[in-house]
Amino acid sequence: MKPVEWKNGKVRFLDQTKLPIEERYVETDDEEVLARAIKRLSIRGAPLIGIAAAYGVVLAANRISGSSEDNVSSRLERAVNVLLATRPTAVNLSWALDRMGRCIRESKEKSIDVLRKRLEKEATAIHEEDAAMCEEISRRGAALLPNGAAVLTHCNTGMLATGGRGTALGIITMAWEQSKLKHVYINETRPLLQGARLTAWELQRSGVPSTLLTDSTAGFLMQRGAISSVIVGADRIAANGDVANKVGTYTLAILAKHHGIPFYVAAPTSTIDAHTPRGSDIPIEQRGPEEVTTIGGIRIAPEGVHVYAPAFDVTPHELITGIITEREILIPPYLDAVRALDRSQMHSAKLHAVED
């Protein structure tokens, strides 16, 4: 199952709003169709929307009719801006589009055909790299878990959200394959039920034993000693280690701290925003009121009720036991860890540039 796939010059994606009732795939050669799919959460998950947006730039390049430098630049700039405006919180989106923008600038003197090939190569590399990062995150995270682990997770962080097996859910499935995992508890993840609709669906397909909970049940399970670890994903990690993730994550972190349960965040280094000092600086996407007042199109709240619907919340770094990345497991003090990681990545990038 591939939630996003590059196929014969088109993007084929699974419409996740239809799950778990229907597996419906859509094919498009139009970047604006892709942008709308990201906006309405047909394509979702921080790493995956970055991958999809990268392919969107390729689609835009393929649809350019003229070859003048001004036409190419303005057309691609517009496409990048449309894709970038879809979702403000997940930094993987701007990270992937920055890479595509760099590719465009470096190919400025080349023909449109050369540019198209280079953009397709870069987008494919972003996709393949994320799959490899998922494997490393999963390996490192599974090693942290005790034998017979009972893990609680929130939202969806598996194949449906990434280019590979997943981040937090990738750790869970790898731990199951290694016979370290006993059970998974899934928060339903209101208001859009990504846990109930998507994570439960993925775990059933993988044969991993799991139990679905209402979000408000998690604390009671912790009180009863049923949870050994909490593992969640992230949409953006600030330089000081504060984490923006699906709304409800902060509550889980407080509960885990109170009950002495390790609280891990799993994310690729592309999710770390070293230029954002702290969580309060992260832009939090606000969703439409209908996502709270209706379920499956059926109204559950009175007409005219006021709704506050942030898609994400911010978990302070002091509540986080460790941040599991593909390069290493970051531990407090996170500001020092992120700075060291950033320096290491910059050094690695310079080495690659010299080699190229």
Helical H runs in 63-151? 69-84, 91-106, 112-144
Predicted pLDDT of residue 252: 98
> What is the pLDDT at residue 351?
38
pTM of the full structure: 0.94
Is residue 108 within 8 A of residue 114, CB to CB? The reply is no
For residue 330, give the nearest of 244, 238, 227 by alpha carbon: 238
Terminal-to-terminal C-alpha distance of the chain: 34
Return the closest-CA partner of residue 91 out of 238, 257, 228: 238
8 Å CB contact between 173 and 206: yes
Provide the token pair at 294: 């209706």
Distances (CA, A) of 93 to 27, 119, 236: 21, 16, 10
Q: Is 210 exposed, middle or buried (0-12, 13-18, 19+ CB in 10 A)?
A: buried
Give tens-digit pLDDT for 238-260: 999 999 999 999 999 999 999 99
- Nearest Cα neighbor of 104 from 76, 126, 124 is 76
Residues marked active site are found at 235
- What is the phi/psi pair of residue 245, to 5°? -145, 180
* Best CA proximity match to 247, nearest among 318, 154, 171: 154
Beta bridge partners of 315: 243
* Cα 307 from Cα 304, distance rounded (Å): 9
Of the candidates 138, 97, 190, the one whose C-alpha atom is nearest the C-alpha of residue 329 is 138
Flag residues of the chain having pLDDT under 50.
Answer: 347, 350-356
Residue appearing with tokens 């969703």: 287
Q: How many CB atoms lie within 10 A of CB 340?
A: 12
- Contact criterion met (CB below 8 Å) for 64 and 112: yes
Cα 149 to Cα 99: distance, rounded to the nearest angstrom: 38
Distance between CA 152 and CA 150 in Å, rounded? 7
pLDDT at 73: 84
Q: Give the separation between CA 92 and CA 47, rounded to whole angstroms.
A: 6
pLDDT in the model for residue 265 = 98
> pLDDT tens digit string along 98-155?
999 999 999 887 899 999 999 999 999 999 999 999 999 999 999 999 999 999 999 9
Angle of helix 46-62 relative to helix 69-84, nearest 10 degrees, comes to 160
Helices and strands (DSSP H and E) totals, the chain: 12, 16
Instruction: Give 272's DSSP letter.
Output: E
What strands, in cross-sheet order, belong to the sheet with 272-273?
A: 272-273, 236-238, 243-246, 312-315
Whole-number pLDDT of residue 71: 78
Q: Are 107 and 296 in contact (CB under 8 A)?
A: no
